[in-house]
């Protein structure tokens, strides 16, 4: 009964919102900045996928901040788990999980790498690709009962990725006077894999950073804090 009342309330709120935003989804004029992105973005950055172009170059500073927020969250989780360890998993994984963790992580890693590498061409980029790579690491960790080999490389990969993201930004500052200017590298022919300036490099840096941070959290949950 309670559930039914809550459901009706939620449904009412949804219809209320739908009525309030009746014009939602209808084409309307872009704002001035969005107009500039849509009209000039392709010429300026040479990326086919404008979403990644905006996220990585025009709004690249915001993305740098976003990645720092993720870094802070991951450090806090790992710090908490090293003070209050959850301990190691007691039960052994079933044979289904063991078989899955042998077969699936490879294709998932490949897919994640594809999303990261083609961030400037197809939907995706550093953040989604890094999340997909982290879910491959999750599959490996599901079957793990002791320390995993890649755990000690995560911190190194994460700090190198963050460092190279900032350095790519400063490259533009030194060469052209703008932080994260995209034209420091050749723009190339739009549609090719090696094009669109530093967007693929920044995508790769974000991808490595997000993947290593999320996997670091998972490792800390599953295998970390070791001593009991």
Partner 1 sequence: MNPDFLLGIASVAGVSMIIAAVRAIFVRDLLSAIILVGFVSLTASVLFFLMDAPDVAITEASIGAGISTVIFLWGRSKVREE
Residue 179 near residue 56 (C-beta atoms within 8 A) = no
Residue 123 interacting with partner 1 (CB under 8 A) = yes
Residue 142 interacting with partner 1 (CB under 8 A) = yes
Residue 135 interacting with partner 1 (CB under 8 A) = yes
Q: What is the CA radius of gyration of the chain?
A: 22
Q: Binding residue for partner 1 (CB under 8 A) from 46, 60, 105, 124?
A: 124
Residue 218 interacting with partner 1 (CB under 8 A) = yes
Residue 67 interacting with partner 1 (CB under 8 A) = no
CB of 4 to partner 1, least distance (A): 9
Segment 88-107, which members bind partner 1 (CB under 8 A)?
89
CB of 94 to partner 1, least distance (A): 14
| Cα diameter, the chain | 66
Helix segments in 21-150, DSSP class H: 32-45, 50-53, 60-83, 95-103, 105-117, 126-142
DSSP 155-221: HHHHHHHHHHHHHHHHHHHHHHSSTT-GGGS---STTSSS-STTHHHHHHHHHHHHHHHHHHHHHHH
Residue 11 interacting with partner 1 (CB under 8 A) = yes
Residues interacting with partner 1, by CB under 8 A? Answer: 2-3, 6-7, 10-11, 14, 51-52, 86-87, 89, 115, 123-125, 127-128, 131-132, 134-135, 138, 142, 214, 217-218, 221-222
């Amino acid at each position: 009964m309670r559930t039914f009342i809550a459901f009706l309330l939620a449904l009412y709120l949804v219809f209320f919102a739908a009525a309030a935003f009746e014009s939602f989804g209808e084409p309307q004029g872009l704002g001035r900045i969005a107009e500039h992105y849509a009209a000039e973005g392709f010429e300026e950055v040479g990326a086919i996928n404008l979403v990644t172009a905006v996220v990585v170059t025009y709004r690249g500073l915001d993305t740098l901040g976003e990645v720092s927020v993720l870094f802070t969250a991951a450090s806090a989780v790992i710090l908490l788990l090293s003070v209050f360890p959850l301990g190691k998993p007691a039960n052994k994984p079933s044979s289904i999980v063991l078989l899955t963790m042998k077969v699936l992580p490879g294709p998932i890693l490949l897919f994640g790498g594809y999303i990261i590498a083609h961030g400037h061409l197809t939907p995706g980029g550093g953040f989604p690709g890094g999340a997909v790579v982290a879910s491959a690491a999750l599959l490996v960790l599901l079957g793990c009962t002791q320390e995993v080999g890649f755990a000690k490389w995560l911190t190194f990969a994460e700090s190198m990725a963050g460092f190279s993201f900032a350095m790519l930004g400063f490259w533009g500052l030194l060469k052209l006077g703008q932080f994260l200017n995209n034209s420091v590298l050749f723009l190339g022919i739009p549609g090719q894999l090696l094009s669109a300036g530093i967007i693929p490099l920044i995508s790769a840096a974000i991808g490595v950073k997000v993947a290593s941070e999320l996997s670091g959290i998972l490792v800390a949950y599953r295998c970390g804090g070791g001593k009991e």
